[in-house]
Amino acid sequence: MTDSDPLAADLLTWKLTLAYDGTDFRGWQVQPGERTIQGELQSALGRITGEAPLPQGSGRTDAGVHALAQVASFPLRAPIPPENLQRALNRTLPESIRILEANTVPNTFHARHSAVAKTYEYRVRPAKPVCESVCSPFLARYVYAFPWPLDLDKLESAAQLLVGEHDFLSFAASDPDLTARNQSASFTDPDEKPSTIRIIFSSTWTKQAIEGGDLLVYRVRGNGFLHHMVRNLVGTMLDVGRGYRQTEGIPAIFTARARSAAGPTAPARGLFLHSVEYGCDSSR
Amino acid sequence: MTDSDPLAADLLTWKLTLAYDGTDFRGWQVQPGERTIQGELQSALGRITGEAPLPQGSGRTDAGVHALAQVASFPLRAPIPPENLQRALNRTLPESIRILEANTVPNTFHARHSAVAKTYEYRVRPAKPVCESVCSPFLARYVYAFPWPLDLDKLESAAQLLVGEHDFLSFAASDPDLTARNQSASFTDPDEKPSTIRIIFSSTWTKQAIEGGDLLVYRVRGNGFLHHMVRNLVGTMLDVGRGYRQTEGIPAIFTARARSAAGPTAPARGLFLHSVEYGCDSSR
């Protein structure tokens, strides 16, 4: 869609909210010969409307990462009632991708540029103190079965140190191309030099009782996240929670500005994009 | 293992209790070139002990059917502590198969022949009365998303009519070879003519609240089940629950002794082998 498109005035902007089980996809972003969420969505839209716009996500989730409420936007010429588009997409898409909501929104809306905050959740099943933990086969796709016991107080103290404005370079994927990848709502000008500074609004661990043990759930809300940032934050906090690293060492990781200063990248399977927030004026 | 095996005295009989997500397997029974639960278990035992006995299950689950607590038995020569075998199997097997318990038992124990009762569970997500239901992508592998609303009272009245001793031929897979397949604890002599009479001890539907709606769960406990019997009972009860068939017609289905008299086969994804019971003397 460009300004010179004579039919631009007929285009409606759509906002979709969708959930997916990321296990069997090569992530969000369309890739030739690979099964991706964006690719499945584009092809379903093509089959339903004859148009195949590339839906823009609020951010790109990696292979194996799940979403409880990802947001995507795209233009469509076809005048189709929102409930009908939702129903047709849910009939056409694989059952591991579900459209929770479909709306038309003002043309200024963009799933990534308009986002003001995002929340991620990470689910960990710690080993029991004594015997080896047996993780339910029905959780295996959605939980990181951590091989050591974890101290919730230590996890929580580390999580608190992440709140606020920080340079998260040490927690970003070390591949410079990936690090610069615009995963964030905090810069909307493509010419702007990518910053690795982000603001974390909240960062907490909670315990949930499940069959046969406890699930530890980390929830983090911020104005944007660098590539691999949540998984690297979790990997570092798990080092603290198992007693391998001290909470007090976290500030030094920020100042190091080096990926090697932080802990390992936690596996994709435990990560869920929980929700995306938009300003009152831009969401519809 | 035969009576003439000179080392038979050294063989220990093992009982494993295991859970699995059946989605990515071609069922329990080993098949050349296919990924099956029995095949994965046999190959893991071979890698760990150098012996590769074929584990006997309490029954064969079909492709896509899950288990919360399937039981398998097999002989092993290697003297290995039970906790060690459990741990080694859980390290070797795919995460979608988990060993919950491993024990040595008297040589008279056989996972199928010694079973006195089995319980299955079937999970259905009905459509909401008004709008189209959106089934969570995280439930899609484990729940049958039924396209119509369901009346729980009607389901429950149909379920009650199944309790007791009946000839379940109308609810068995119509393939005569499959029907005769010994899925049951009720005949242990291979020369005995297979009977299609089974006793159902209990048969109930319950409602469980989940995110975005209700899950209807059918639980059935009996002395044995014919091939496809639970899925055909569920398919028939769902016909009643949506108002397409009358509860009063159920007794006539038993007397018809014809597969065509009953309802459709409900999909494998909703079915779980819940548990297997053994007599006090044979379980260990």
Taking contacts as CB-CB distances below 8 angstroms, the residues of chain B near A98 are: 134-137
Taking contacts as CB-CB distances below 8 angstroms, the residues of chain A near B99 are: 134
B83 to chain A, any CB pair closer than 8 A? The answer is: yes
Q: What is the spatial distance between Cα B44 and Cα A116, in angstroms, rounded to a whole number? A: 50
Distance from CA of B274 to the nearest CA of A (A): 14
Count of pairs with CB atoms under 8 A, one residue in A, one in B: 54
Q: What percent of chain B has pLDDT over 70?
A: 85
Taking contacts as CB-CB distances below 8 angstroms, the residues of chain A near B135 are: 95, 98
Distance from CA of B8 to the nearest CA of A (A): 32
Paired with A74 in beta bridges are A14
pLDDT of residue B242: 96
Distance from CA of B97 to the nearest CA of A (A): 6
Q: Which residue in chain A is spatially nearest to B88 when comparing CA positions?
A: A132
Give residue A193's pLDDT band: very low, low, confident or very high (50, 70, 90).
low
- Across the interface, do B138 and A142 touch by the CB < 8 Å criterion? yes
Q: Which of B134, B211, B272 to mutate to test the interface with A (most CBs of A within 10 A)?
A: B134
Active-site residue flag, B62 = yes
- Across the interface, do B21 and A87 touch by the CB < 8 Å criterion? no
Average pLDDT in the A179-184 region? Answer: 46
Give residue A187's pLDDT band: very low, low, confident or very high (50, 70, 90).
very low
Give residue A214's pLDDT band: very low, low, confident or very high (50, 70, 90).
confident
CA dihedral B123→B71→A209→A235, nearest 10 degrees, is -110
Cβ-based neighbours of A247, under 8 Å, separated by 6 or more: A154, A157, A158, A161, A240
Give all domains of chain A, ordered by start, each with its CATH number. 8-105 (3.30.70.580), 116-278 (3.30.70.660)
Residue numbers of chain B with a pLDDT score lower than 50: 1-4, 130-132, 178-189, 282-284
Give residue A284's pLDDT band: very low, low, confident or very high (50, 70, 90).
very low
pLDDT of residue A140: 87
Distance from CA of A128 to the nearest CA of B (A): 14
Give residue A133's pLDDT band: very low, low, confident or very high (50, 70, 90).
low
Other beta carbons less than 10 A from residue A279's beta carbon:
10
Which residue bears the tokens 């012996």? B51
Q: Environment class of residue B226 by beta-carbon count within 10 Å: exposed (0-12), middle (13-18) or buried (19+)?
A: buried
Do the Cβ atoms of B49 and B39 come closer than 8 Å?
A: no
Residue A282 DSSP one-character state:
T
Cβ-based neighbours of B119, under 8 Å, separated by 6 or more: B219, B220, B221, B273, B274, B275, B276, B277
Do the Cβ atoms of A188 and A227 come closer than 8 Å?
A: no
- Across the interface, do A138 and B97 touch by the CB < 8 Å criterion? no
pLDDT of residue B191: 53
Residue A179 DSSP one-character state:
H
Q: The whole model's pTM is what?
A: 0.83
Q: Environment class of residue A84 by beta-carbon count within 10 Å: exposed (0-12), middle (13-18) or buried (19+)?
A: exposed
Q: Which of A95, A146, A211, A272 to mutate to test the interface with B (most CBs of B within 10 A)?
A: A95
Do the Cβ atoms of B258 and B168 come closer than 8 Å?
A: no
pLDDT of residue A219: 98
In three-state form (DSSP H/G/I as H, E/B as E, the rest C), the secondary structure along A212-241 is: CEEEEEEEEEECECCCCHHHHHHHHHHHHH
Mean pLDDT of chain A: 88
Residue A269 DSSP one-character state:
G
Catalytic residue among A3, A5, A10, A62: A62
Kindly report which listed range (A85-89, A111-115, B27-31, B279-283) carries the lowest average pLDDT score: B279-283
Catalytic residue among B5, B24, B62, B167: B62
